[in-house]
Structure 1
Amino acid sequence: MECVFGLVGNGFAIVAADTSAVHSILVHKNNEDKIMVLDSHKLIAASGEPGDRVQFTEYVQKNVSLYQFRNGIPLTTAAAANFTRGELATALRKVTSFPTLSYELRGVRNPYSVNILMAGYDKEAGASLYYIDYIATLHKVDKGAFGYGSYFSLSTMDRHYRSDMSVEEAIELVDKCILEIRSRLVIAPPNFVIKIVDKDGAREHAWRQSVQDVTTASV
C-alpha cells in the first residue's frame, strides 16, 4: 500500500512518501525514509520492492556523486533523470529472452521493480519533477504519484493544483492528499515524510505521524 507523490510549485518541488516497510501482511517498521537526497539540489523518491528500491536509488546516488567528482560540475535534474531511465532500460533488456514462454512461466521479472519521482532545482531551468516507472518510461510532469495512494492523491491534486502555488499552499495540498489517503485507502500507511527542493537546496520539511496528528488535534 505504498504512496509516493509530488508536485512542482513556484520555484520549488515537493515530494511526499509513506514511511512503512511492509512485507506481505507484516509491517516491519513505520519510519522508513523512501526519499533520498541525491545531491544538494536533487531528491529521488521511490516505491517498489524494498531491496530494489534501496539498491537502485543508492546506485543512482553514487553515480551522480561520481560524475560530479570526475567532472567538477553536478548533473542537471534532466540529465540525472535520463541517466536513471537509461539504467532501468538497460537492466530491463538484460532479461534473458525465451519467446515461447511467458515471464510468469519462466519466473523472470524486471531486475529493478522500482518506480521513481525525481525532483530537482537548476539555476537555468528552475524546479522540475520527473516520472520514471519500472519499465523505463520517463516524463517531465507538474505532478505525479505512484502506489495505491495515487488513486486519491492524483485526483486531489487535479482538483486543487496550480502551477503558481507557494510553498505554504503546496504543503496544504500535500496534507489534503495525506488526509484523503488515510480516509479512503483500506489499509492506509500511518506516517509520511515530506521533502522540498528549491534554490536553497534539498531538505526535509516535516513528518506527518498519525499519533502526533491525533494528539495535536485533540489539544
Structure 2
Amino acid sequence: MECVFGLVGNDFVIVVADTSAVNSILVHKTNEDKIMKLDSHKLIAASGESGDRVQFTEYIQKNVALYHFRNGIPLTTAAAANFTRGELATALRKNPYMVNILLAGFDRETGPSLYYIDYIATLHKVDKGAFGYGSFFCLSMMDRHYHSGMSVEEAVELVDRCIMEIRSRLVVAPPNFVIKIVDRDGAREYAWRESVKDTPTAQSEGLAV
C-alpha cells in the first residue's frame, strides 16, 4: 500500500512518501526513507519492489555524481530525468525494474520542476503527480485544491490533507510519511508525519536476560 506524491509550488517542489517497508502481509519497518537526495538540488522519490527501488535509485544517484565528477558541472533536472528514463527503457528489454519515480529539482535557469517516470519508462513533466494505492485519493485532492504558485504553507496544508485522506480511506494505510522540499537553497528534509512511533523492546535496550 505504498504512496509517493509531489507537487510544484512557487519556486519549490515538495515530495512526500510513506515510510513503510512491506513484504506480503508483513511490515518490516515504519521508518524507511524512500526519497533519496541525488545532489544538492535534486530529489528522487520511488515506489515499487523494495530491492529494485533501492538498487535503481542508488544506481542513478552514483551516475549523476559521476557525471558531475567527470565534467565539473551537474546535470540539470531535465537531463537527470531523461537519463533515468533511458536506463529504465534499456532495462525494460532485458530485466525490468519494478519501480516508479518522481524526480524533483531546482535549476537556477528554469526554476523548480517535477518529472513523472513509471516502470515502463514513461516520462512526463508535471505540476503534480503520485504513485501507489494512495494516488487514488491524493490525486483527487490535488485536482481540487492545487493551484500554480502555491506558497510552502499552502503546499504543506494540501500535503496534510492528502495524508489524512489516505489514512482515512485506504484499507491498509501506511502510518508514517516523510516530507522533503527542494528550492533555490537546496534539497532537504522538511518534516515527518507520524501516527505510530517505534518503541524499543527490552531486548534492543539490552535488558533481556
TM-score where L is the length of structure 1: 0.89
SS in 1 for 2:33: coil
Q: 1:160 and 2:125 equivalent?
A: no
Deviation per CA, 1:16-55: give whole Å up to 9, x if none: 0000000000000000000000000000000000000000
User: Counterpart of 1:178 in structure 2: which amino acid?
Assistant: I
Residue 198 of structure 1 is matched in structure 2 by 183
Residue 118 of structure 1 is matched in structure 2 by 103
Residue 44 of structure 2 is matched in structure 1 by 44
1:67-106 equivalences under 5 Å are 67-94=67-94
Deviation per CA, 1:135-160: give whole Å up to 9, x if none: 00000000000000000000000000
* Structure 2, gaps ≥5 residues long: 198-209
Residue 60 of structure 1 is matched in structure 2 by 60
1:5-44 equivalences under 5 Å are 5-44=5-44
Q: 2:32, 2:115 → 1: CA distance?
A: 22
Residue 103 of structure 1 is matched in structure 2 by none
Count of residues in correspondence between the two structures? 197
Which residue, 195, 199, 202 being the options, matches 1:210?
A: 195
1:109-188 equivalences under 5 Å are 111-188=96-173
Q: 2:145, 2:98 → 1: CA distance?
A: 31
SS in 2 for 1:60: helix
Q: 1:163, 1:5 → 2: CA distance?
A: 16
* Structure 1, gaps ≥5 residues long: 95-109, 213-219
Deviation per CA, 1:57-88: give whole Å up to 9, x if none: 00000000000000000000000000000000
Residue 100 of structure 1 is matched in structure 2 by none
User: Counterpart of 2:145 in structure 1: which amino acid?
Assistant: H
Q: Residue 211 of structure 1: CA displacement?
A: 3.8
RMSD: 0.8
Which runs of structure 1 show a deviation greater than 6 angstroms over 4 or more consecutive aligned residues? none
User: Counterpart of 1:19 in structure 2: which amino acid?
Assistant: T
Deviation per CA, 1:101-151: give whole Å up to 9, x if none: xxxxxxxxx520000000000011100000000000000000000000000
Identity across matched positions, percent: 85
Q: 2:70, 2:148 → 1: CA distance?
A: 36
SS in 1 for 2:190: strand
Q: Give 1 or 2: higher helix fraction.
A: 1
Q: 2:134, 2:190 → 1: CA distance?
A: 20
Q: 1:56, 1:211 → 2: CA distance?
A: 29
Q: 1:39, 1:173 → 2: CA distance?
A: 26
SS in 2 for 1:210: coil
Residue 217 of structure 1 is matched in structure 2 by none
Q: 2:129, 2:115 → 1: CA distance?
A: 8
Q: Residue 93 of structure 1: CA displacement?
A: 1.5
Q: 2:196, 2:51 → 1: CA distance?
A: 28
